[in-house]
Structure 1
């Protein structure tokens, strides 16, 4: 079982079971992203805020809730 290191603290890696009779080559590790709001619990008062243009570009007003999205390049279409 080989596991790859997560790119950021919100990314999790898990191993996938590959049966002996699977018709396709196995994908040994898959990743998923855990959203940052799950770790916040509640919104504390006086959180720092992005300025308006930056908040619109990033999709959130608060830096504590920002999670970068980096698409993975996969084979095929």
Structure 2
């Protein structure tokens, strides 16, 4: 797969790579494997770049959805790291 960058902005490139890996792999664990990082490192980048990602149908409740419980959790983590 070829990814074309509009510029040399490293932050934008990291976001694009994370989004592409999530879309291609379909799960955080598999996307992290594609990127060569741990799932925890990918989760940190998802929070850092505020990536909205919803798993395909059939996902377990609370995993990859945008439920209030998860949104609050992500907001809490983001506030702690800011």
**TM-score, scaled relative to structure 1:** 0.21
Structure with higher RCO (Cα < 8 A, 6+ apart): 1
**Larger % of helix: which?**
2
**Larger % of strand: which?**
1
Query: Quick check: which has more Rg, 1 or 2?
Result: 1
**TM-score, scaled relative to structure 2:** 0.21
